Amino acid sequence: MNIKEELLRLATFAMNNAYAPYSKYFVGATIYSVEGKFYYSCNVENVSFPCGTCAEAGAISSMISNGDKKISAILITSSGKELVYPCGACLQRIQEFATDDTLIYLANNNEIIKTYFLKDLLPQQFSPKEF
């Protein structure tokens, strides 16, 4: 199995385990780290809507908690009819751990439909040189 196939397989697995009793909108995301490992997660809703977690944020947390720090690629899939794009907050989260050529794959349950570089979806990234 190649990297793209594994990204899609794991994201679909995660999506099917999403906790989305309110929206009924299931999302899965898988990261392939620069170190060559896969990390995946799903959206987890909460009755207090701002307290939910996006699939991308969960996958990033999994990557960081396992000691990896850089995203080579991330794939996002959903149960919706249209492709799901990362929200603005998740694009900024991805940027925090991206490389200059981090790829974002958008897929349905069967195949990758679109591929972007992070800079295509977040051209004016918030990335101060110093704090």
5, 25 contact by CB (below 8 A) = no
Residue 56 is among the residues annotated as catalytic for this protein: yes
Beta-bridged to residue 38, according to DSSP, are 32
Torsion of CA 43, 15, 113, 126, to 10 degrees: 20
Pairwise CA distance, residues 21 & 16, whole Å = 13
Which of the residues 56, 82, 96, 111 is marked catalytic? 56
Pairwise CA distance, residues 79 & 108, whole Å = 8
User: Which one, of 43, 68, 60, lies nearest residue 118 by Cα?
Assistant: 60
- Catalytically active residues are 56
